Structure 1
Amino acid sequence: MKKVLIVGGVAGGASTATRLRRLNENLEIVLLEKGQHVSFANCGLPYHISGVIENRESLLVQTPEKLKKRFNIDVRINSEVISVDSSNKKVVIRNNGEEYTETFDYLVLAPGAKPLVPPIEGIHGNNIYTLRNVTDLDKIMEKLKEKSIKDAIVIGGGFIGIEAAENLQEKGVNTTIIEAAPSILVPFDSEISNLLEVELMSNGVNLLTNNKVIKFEEKNERVVISLENGNKVEGDMVILAIGVTPDTNFLKNSGINLGERGHILVNDSLETNIKDIYALGDAILVKHFVTGQDVSIALAGPANRQGRIVADNIMKKGKTYKGSFGTSVIKVFSLTGASTGLNERSIKVLGKKYEKMYLHPNDHANYYPGATPISIKLLYEKESKKVLGAQAVGVKGADKFIDVIATVLKFRGTIEDLSELDLAYAPPYSSAKSPVNMSGFIGENIEDNLVEQIFVENLKDFDKDKNIILDVREEFEVVVGQFEHSINIPLGQLRERYNELPKDKEIWAYCAVGLRGYIAYRFLTSLGYKVKNIAGGFKSKLKI
């Protein structure tokens, strides 16, 4: 009987184990998990803090007993693999201080990632926690039982940090997020993440971006954090959510190839450089589906799919993993943020020629009650017109939009494909011109030279001797604000008043979301004016 050893449970390891059993009843499957819980919903951990997920036990997806009874899998918790002898096909395991050796025919490495704990003075002090597993969660929940807990500090503005902060705030704990970068949530460009930052602050979260922590100190049972700018922040507890690093130290002398940061290197079959040893999940590098570059994408969805592929390949089915593009979604109080593919920062680094667009449609027909806006940014490659990525924020519909774009990315679709997609519509659910179709229409207009765009960040180049900024919104809309140096001629009056505009200056037209600015563009260019439309209108105004 062939023996498969699987190092690590949770998403990838547990998926591999159960898929293997469904494929073959004659394998000996041993799953080694160094923690206390073999399969748990780590994405759900922050939501137990606030009580949104009331029952802690509901976070435990599978137990060793269930996996044994249902799948005949030998699950060993508190069992840490401390070394791998790939030549002789054996591993050394430590359990409760004792070590023993186990052999294998196939080895599957799914050790995951561990919280990044940089060498900052005092970072290992009291009342400083990480949130990566159920054990971490239990420690945090125990601390929160203390009545004296009033202030919490979250270090890091990534997904776990934002979710932890939201749920602490919902629990009634005054919460501060400290982020070293200028903006939170790396997958989003700043003008999109800004919408989520405003939502955090509107709900009472204190947000400190562009702030680097240099020291932790304990003072009167509180944690005092010193920042690089000289300021200090105090709290009763701290949650470190700085990032993660692959948990692969045990592989350093194994002969298995690792990347510069410790990620396991695999081929498209998810096999390492050593035959019969596979790896998956947060600990590996994969190909980015859009760029073909090696990337680390620590998400549950890809890990589960990879587990299925590894199991299939152990059974000689010849499956390949074609890459990831990092589709992700996050709840931030009443808003949802979602993204897929490349953001603008990444595209600039690659040196690709690209075009971007902004649009702010409603999630369903305007006339049906309850419609709410979605702010969308979409990017595509100039030459091929292939979609490169997108980001969306809204109360409803952002996840739906991004899922469609992710599907288009998978099939290497273009802006024309977006305009041609036949998507479900009824007034409560979408619009007859869906946001996806509208993205395609805007892209086609750009490529057909029906509109020339200018962006909010370009307004800094305004020269009153060369430019006019034309606001075509209604007068009552101007009350909420307008771009500096604007003159207002509502679109409905433009055909009668266009002669108020000089032809020797370039006109930068805008409205609330871009559509009326585009209509003004088409009209004025037909009369010989030089015009550009401010993409996304006033709603795309950047954080200053």
Structure 2
Amino acid sequence: MTQQRLVVIGGDAAGMSAASKVRREDPKREIVVFERSPHTSYSACGMPYFIAGLVDGPEKLVARSPEKFRDKYNIDARTGHEVTELDLGNQRVRVRSLADSSEAWEAYDQLLIATGAEAIFPKLPNSDSDGIFGLSTLASGIRVQQFMDQQLPRRAVVVGGGYIGLEMAEALVRQGLQVALVERGEQVMGTLDPDMGALVSDALREIGVELYLNESLTGYEAANGLVTAVVTDQRTLPADLVIVGLGTRPNSSLAAAAGITLGEKGSIRVNPRMQTSAPNVWAAGDCAESFHLVSRKPFHVALGTVANKQGSVAGINLAGGYATFPGVVGTAVSKICKYEVARTGLMEREINGLGLKYKTATTKSKTRAGYYPGAGWITVKLLAEQGTGRLLGGQIVGQEGAAKRIDVLATALTAGMTVQQIVDLDLSYAPPFSPVWDPVQTAARQLLGSSD
């Protein structure tokens, strides 16, 4: 019997998680991975901290190199190779070598699409100038650092107030740059409700970031091929360096061109086993659709945690086992200097979109016992369904020790718990870690109308 051949498109979190899982289950399977960048299995989330100087070098962000995959795991990881076409009828992919532009067809018995997400980078006047960067791969982060080392910029503009934008604003402040941030919304962090997003905006101003809200990017100014300014619909901001953090979209064009069904936000539609609409074709990671456990609707999110889990599920199934991906609750966390930001579940506008009646409570308390050194402020917002008391979402903004409390709420959402059940949880207490009533439970008690 001929040994089956697995081809994986994409060598980061989902792709290499799946390939590694298949290898553990099937030592003889032929596994070939095509990755267009120079790196495999790296932490894209770590790029802002590398640029901030908190990580010694980009190699620290690489979990396993292509050489390690080849030599230790017998996975043929071919970096610098881009898949340009899928031929589903003949079960083959067209691959182009970026080194010499040569092309060849590669056959597969099973195909995993793990092409990730791509940075949204609008084509605007002078957008091809040097000094303007989007961040989506480790290679792009390295290019930012090299530009900073060579050009020594003094003024930076970050376009977009999402996770990458905020983390890069902090990184550039740490490196001594004057930083401005342009956001088309009324507050940064559009995954929070406006009242909580306002706290994050205040935190940015506190560290010296100039905020320009309700403004849209219209283009750039440049001289001698270098960016000199960012142009919005209201002003021109001088800039020696620009980070475009307008979010990402699923990199699903290959699948779409081959006729594979797409879903939420253009992600590749998959069933719980990560199978696509095409025979013998699977998808996982930032390019693939998820399922939201609270809204009970298809959902798309680009996070390394989800990508690794989906990749592992795909790998088990590709190896002949059986596994399903249950879904997500939309948990995410970020940091702006001493401030921590976290969210999970649904926001108010999402709940309104579902037609649910809900109630909210927002409390401000301390991360530790108030008398213990180092206690900081923490603001917790909870949203629950009226009548049933079912938790629908939670948001947290605070100082050290605040953000990871979101995991209690993520667990509660996954379990379908009510606000009363959150109050009843036997959470740990000691003055260095929490007040007697944990801030999450304090918010839950207020939501229930409990007295102090």
TM-score normalised per structure 1: 0.79
Given that 2:165 and 2:245 are in contact with CA atoms closer than 8 Å, whether structure 1 keeps it comes out as yes
Offset of residue 74 of structure 1? 0.6
Tell me which residue corresponds to 2:329: 325
Given that 2:11 and 2:77 are in contact with CA atoms closer than 8 Å, whether structure 1 keeps it comes out as no
- Once residues 411 and 55 of structure 1 are traced to their aligned partners in structure 2, the CA distance between those partners, rounded to angstroms, is 40
Given that 1:417 and 1:440 are in contact with CA atoms closer than 8 Å, whether structure 2 keeps it comes out as no
Tell me, yes or no, if structure 1 residue 226 matches structure 2 residue 226: no
| 1:79-129 deviation digits (Å, cap 9, x = unpaired) | 111111112211111113011111111111100011111232222223211
SS at match of 1:267: coil
SS at match of 1:272: coil
SS at match of 2:161: coil
Given that 1:418 and 1:439 are in contact with CA atoms closer than 8 Å, whether structure 2 keeps it comes out as no
| 1:47-88 deviation digits (Å, cap 9, x = unpaired) | 111211122210122111111222111100011111111122
Tell me which residue corresponds to 1:59: 61
Pair 403,260 (structure 1): closer, same or farther in 2 beyond 3 Å? closer
Higher relative CO (Cα under 8 Å, sequence separation at least 6) belongs to 2
- Once residues 358 and 261 of structure 1 are traced to their aligned partners in structure 2, the CA distance between those partners, rounded to angstroms, is 31
Report the structure number with the largest CA radius of gyration.
1
More off after superposition, 407-416 vs 186-195: 186-195
Offset of residue 135 of structure 1? 1.8
Tell me which residue corresponds to 1:78: 80
The gaps in structure 1 that reach 5 residues or longer are 451-517, 520-544
Tell me which residue corresponds to 1:419: 423
Tell me which residue corresponds to 2:356: 352
- Once residues 152 and 48 of structure 2 are traced to their aligned partners in structure 1, the CA distance between those partners, rounded to angstroms, is 21
Q: In the comparison of the two structures, how many residue pairs are matched?
A: 447
Q: How does 1:272-283 map to 2 (within 5 A)?
A: 272-283=276-287
- Once residues 81 and 265 of structure 1 are traced to their aligned partners in structure 2, the CA distance between those partners, rounded to angstroms, is 20
Tell me which residue corresponds to 2:71: 69
- Once residues 36 and 20 of structure 1 are traced to their aligned partners in structure 2, the CA distance between those partners, rounded to angstroms, is 23
Tell me, yes or no, if structure 1 residue 314 matches structure 2 residue 318: yes
Residue type matched to 1:359 in 2?
T
Tell me which residue corresponds to 1:334: 338
Tell me which residue corresponds to 1:270: 274
- Once residues 151 and 343 of structure 2 are traced to their aligned partners in structure 1, the CA distance between those partners, rounded to angstroms, is 39
Given that 2:50 and 2:57 are in contact with CA atoms closer than 8 Å, whether structure 1 keeps it comes out as yes
SS at match of 1:360: strand
Q: Hey, which bits of structure 1, 4+ residues long, moved more than 4 A?
A: none
- Once residues 13 and 148 of structure 1 are traced to their aligned partners in structure 2, the CA distance between those partners, rounded to angstroms, is 36
Offset of residue 223 of structure 1? 2.3
Tell me, yes or no, if structure 1 residue 111 matches structure 2 residue 115: yes
- Once residues 260 and 305 of structure 1 are traced to their aligned partners in structure 2, the CA distance between those partners, rounded to angstroms, is 19
- Once residues 283 and 131 of structure 1 are traced to their aligned partners in structure 2, the CA distance between those partners, rounded to angstroms, is 16
Q: 2:91 aligns with which of 85, 89, 92?
A: 89
- Once residues 351 and 265 of structure 2 are traced to their aligned partners in structure 1, the CA distance between those partners, rounded to angstroms, is 23
Q: 1:40 aligns with which of 19, 39, 42?
A: 42
Given that 1:150 and 1:236 are in contact with CA atoms closer than 8 Å, whether structure 2 keeps it comes out as yes
Given that 1:86 and 1:255 are in contact with CA atoms closer than 8 Å, whether structure 2 keeps it comes out as no
Q: How does 1:230-241 map to 2 (within 5 A)?
A: 231-241=235-245
Given that 2:219 and 2:232 are in contact with CA atoms closer than 8 Å, whether structure 1 keeps it comes out as yes
Tell me, yes or no, if structure 1 residue 253 matches structure 2 residue 257: yes
Tell me, yes or no, if structure 1 residue 364 matches structure 2 residue 368: yes
Tell me which residue corresponds to 1:473: none
- Once residues 268 and 256 of structure 2 are traced to their aligned partners in structure 1, the CA distance between those partners, rounded to angstroms, is 10
Given that 1:336 and 1:394 are in contact with CA atoms closer than 8 Å, whether structure 2 keeps it comes out as yes
Residue type matched to 2:282 in 1?
Y
- Once residues 388 and 321 of structure 2 are traced to their aligned partners in structure 1, the CA distance between those partners, rounded to angstroms, is 34
Residue type matched to 1:182 in 2?
E
Given that 2:160 and 2:245 are in contact with CA atoms closer than 8 Å, whether structure 1 keeps it comes out as yes
Tell me which residue corresponds to 1:394: 398
SS at match of 1:419: helix
More off after superposition, 391-400 vs 373-382: 391-400
- Once residues 199 and 168 of structure 2 are traced to their aligned partners in structure 1, the CA distance between those partners, rounded to angstroms, is 18
- Once residues 438 and 158 of structure 2 are traced to their aligned partners in structure 1, the CA distance between those partners, rounded to angstroms, is 38
Tell me which residue corresponds to 1:512: none
SS at match of 1:153: strand
Residue type matched to 1:245 in 2?
R
Q: How does 1:38-187 map to 2 (within 5 A)?
A: 38-95=40-97, 96=99, 97-146=101-150, 148-187=152-191
- Once residues 437 and 241 of structure 1 are traced to their aligned partners in structure 2, the CA distance between those partners, rounded to angstroms, is 35
SS at match of 1:352: coil
Offset of residue 261 of structure 1? 4.7
Given that 1:223 and 1:238 are in contact with CA atoms closer than 8 Å, whether structure 2 keeps it comes out as no
The gaps in structure 2 that reach 5 residues or longer are none
Offset of residue 260 of structure 1? 7.2
Residue type matched to 2:44 in 1?
N
Tell me, yes or no, if structure 1 residue 381 matches structure 2 residue 423: no
TM-score normalised per structure 2: 0.95
More off after superposition, 297-306 vs 320-329: 320-329
More off after superposition, 171-180 vs 267-276: 267-276
Given that 1:215 and 1:227 are in contact with CA atoms closer than 8 Å, whether structure 2 keeps it comes out as yes
- Once residues 401 and 321 of structure 1 are traced to their aligned partners in structure 2, the CA distance between those partners, rounded to angstroms, is 24
- Once residues 124 and 260 of structure 1 are traced to their aligned partners in structure 2, the CA distance between those partners, rounded to angstroms, is 30
Q: 1:23 aligns with which of 22, 25, 31?
A: 25
Tell me which residue corresponds to 1:504: none
- Once residues 398 and 359 of structure 1 are traced to their aligned partners in structure 2, the CA distance between those partners, rounded to angstroms, is 13
SS at match of 1:283: coil
Residue type matched to 1:160 in 2?
I
Residue type matched to 2:231 in 1?
S
Tell me which residue corresponds to 2:444: 440
- Once residues 406 and 244 of structure 2 are traced to their aligned partners in structure 1, the CA distance between those partners, rounded to angstroms, is 29
